[in-house]
Structure 1
Amino acid sequence: MAFMTCNFYSESLGVSASMNVIVPQATRSQIGLDSQQYGGKHPTLFLLHGLSDDHSIWMRRTSIERYASQLGIAVVMPAVNRSFYADMAYGPKYWEFISEELPALARSFFPLASERELNYVAGLSMGGYGAMKLALTHPERFAAAASLSGAVDIVTRATTFPADFQLIYGDVTTVKGGSNDLFHLANQLVASEKKAPMLYQCCGTEDFLYEDNLRFRDYCRALELPLTYEEEPGEHEWGYWDLKIQRVLNWLPLPERV
């Protein structure tokens, strides 16, 4: 695998931005790493960080490079600060950045596949919310999305992060039923009759977001969305996420290798 830190200018944000990228490399003599590779451009996982993290966190807290190497997929890990993956009322347009500009730039810099069937998104906490938001808003772009301990009910979380949410949304009372509300987006997807991506959701039973995850799970099930849900004892911490990202990678609907 090749690992790169990429610094570039973002038109959406009006400032320089960063992402870490893992790209498959076919090797014969590397010791201790089982390196696989598909033919053509690489299947890609967009892997999103949480509220207090940045683009470096998945490499620092997990063995994501080793896990991805075994499957032969690329991993794109962008930085979005404390934006909740939204076009902020009092800040930059992070939703435009993550949903439009970043994928196009990443594919212009690296040999990444653009087909829906070869694109996936996942994240933890705020990033789990962002992953679900991307997949529910643009089901035509992603074959699968995974949320690890996701902040999936932002209407409830408005009281947890009042300063952040005021900067992000302005009037937080407008969030419910809008384009940032995952429950609303799930409804809209079903009503559109578009093909839904595969969804994966997990949360530790001792996590402060556990009840939020149960509500979102039950809502998706009522809508008959293709959701895989898992829970077990666990808190909001990296030991849990390191284990579950391995589960997510093995769950992804990867194509047959050529």
Structure 2
Amino acid sequence: MAFIDCHFHSESLGVAASMHVILPQVAKSQIGLTSRAYGGKHPTLLLLHGLSDDHTIWMRRTSIERYASQLGIAVIMPAVNRSFYADMVSGPKYWEFISEELPVLARSFFPLAEERELNYVAGLSMGGYGAVKLALSHPNRYAAAASLSGAVDIVERAAAFPADSQLIFGELSTIKNSPNDLFYLADQLVASKQDRPQLYQCCGTEDFLYADNIRFRDYCRAQGLQITYEEESATHDWGYWDRKIQSVLDWLPLPSRS
């Protein structure tokens, strides 16, 4: 794999932005690493960070490069600060950045596939929320989305982080039944009759977000959305996420598995 620490200007944010990128490379003489690559442009996983982290965290806390190398997929890991992947009321337009600007820029920099069936998104905690938000908002762009210990009930989470939430969303009463509410987005997707992305959700049973995850899982199933759900005894920690990102990669609908 090639690893790139990429810094660039964002028009959406009005400042310099950062992302870590890993790209497939077949290297026969590289010791201890199995690698593959598809011909042409690479299938791509957009991998999102949580509330207290940045674009470096997946490379620092997991072996994502080694895991992705075996599959021949590119992984894009951007930084969005404490934005909850939203256009902030009192801050930059991170939703515009992550949903519109970043995919176009990344494909202009690197040989990344544009086809829906070759694009996936995943994240942990705040990033799990962001991943599902992207896939439900743009089901024509992402074939699959995965949430690891995701903050999937944003109405509950906003109340738990009032200072951050007011800067991001403004009045908390406006969040429910808005485009920032995953339950609302699930309703909209079902009503739209568009192709539905495959959904994966996991959470530890001792995680403080466990009840939120059960509510969202049950709501999706009640709406007729197919969602792969896994749980085990675990808390909100990187040992769990390092294991479960491997489960996510095993689950992704890659071309070689079709």
Which of the five TM-score ranges fits, normalised by the shorter chain?
over 0.9
Equivalent AA in structure 1 for residue 8 of structure 2: F
Measure, in 2, the Cα distance between the counterparts of 1:122 and 1:109: 21
How far does residue 64 in structure 1 lie from its aligned partner after superposition? 0.1
Measure, in 1, the Cα distance between the counterparts of 2:135 and 2:43: 16
**Mapped pair 1:244 → 2:250:** no
Aligned twin of 2:103: 103
How far does residue 224 in structure 1 lie from its aligned partner after superposition? 1.2
Is the 8 Å Cα contact of residues 44 and 118 (structure 2) preserved in structure 1?
yes
Measure, in 2, the Cα distance between the counterparts of 1:159 and 1:106: 34
Measure, in 2, the Cα distance between the counterparts of 1:241 and 1:58: 9
How far does residue 256 in structure 1 lie from its aligned partner after superposition? 2.2
SS in 2 for 1:207: coil
Aligned twin of 2:68: 68
Equivalent AA in structure 2 for residue 121 of structure 1: V
Measure, in 1, the Cα distance between the counterparts of 2:236 and 2:109: 34
Measure, in 1, the Cα distance between the counterparts of 2:214 and 2:226: 16
Aligned twin of 2:123: 123
SS in 2 for 1:100: helix
Equivalent AA in structure 1 for residue 30 of structure 2: Q
Greater than 4 Å deviation, 4+ residue runs = none
Measure, in 2, the Cα distance between the counterparts of 1:224 and 1:253: 20
Measure, in 2, the Cα distance between the counterparts of 1:80 and 1:172: 21
Aligned twin of 1:48: 48
Measure, in 1, the Cα distance between the counterparts of 2:182 and 2:74: 27
Q: Which runs of 5+ in 1 are unaligned?
A: none
SS in 1 for 2:159: coil
Equivalent AA in structure 1 for residue 100 of structure 2: E
1:160-218: CA deviations, max 9, x gaps?
Answer: 11110000001110000000000000000000000100000000000000000000000
How far does residue 157 in structure 1 lie from its aligned partner after superposition? 1.1
Q: Which runs of 5+ in 2 are unaligned?
A: none
Measure, in 1, the Cα distance between the counterparts of 2:237 and 2:116: 31
Measure, in 2, the Cα distance between the counterparts of 1:56 and 1:91: 22
Alignment size in residue pairs: 257
Aligned twin of 1:14: 14
Measure, in 2, the Cα distance between the counterparts of 1:146 and 1:185: 16
Measure, in 2, the Cα distance between the counterparts of 1:226 and 1:141: 18
1:38-80: CA deviations, max 9, x gaps?
Answer: 0110000000000000000000000000000010000000000
Measure, in 2, the Cα distance between the counterparts of 1:158 and 1:96: 20
**Mapped pair 1:175 → 2:210:** no
For 1:156-171, list aligned pairs within 5 A: 156-171=156-171
Measure, in 2, the Cα distance between the counterparts of 1:71 and 1:158: 36
Aligned twin of 2:231: 231
1:71-105: CA deviations, max 9, x gaps?
Answer: 00000000000000000000000000000000000
Measure, in 2, the Cα distance between the counterparts of 1:214 and 1:225: 14
Is the 8 Å Cα contact of residues 199 and 228 (structure 2) preserved in structure 1?
yes
How far does residue 247 in structure 1 lie from its aligned partner after superposition? 0.2
SS in 2 for 1:32: coil
Is the 8 Å Cα contact of residues 41 and 111 (structure 2) preserved in structure 1?
yes
Measure, in 1, the Cα distance between the counterparts of 2:234 and 2:256: 33
SS in 1 for 2:178: coil
Measure, in 2, the Cα distance between the counterparts of 1:256 and 1:147: 23
Equivalent AA in structure 1 for residue 105 of structure 2: L
For 1:127-166, list aligned pairs within 5 A: 127-166=127-166
How far does residue 10 in structure 1 lie from its aligned partner after superposition? 0.1
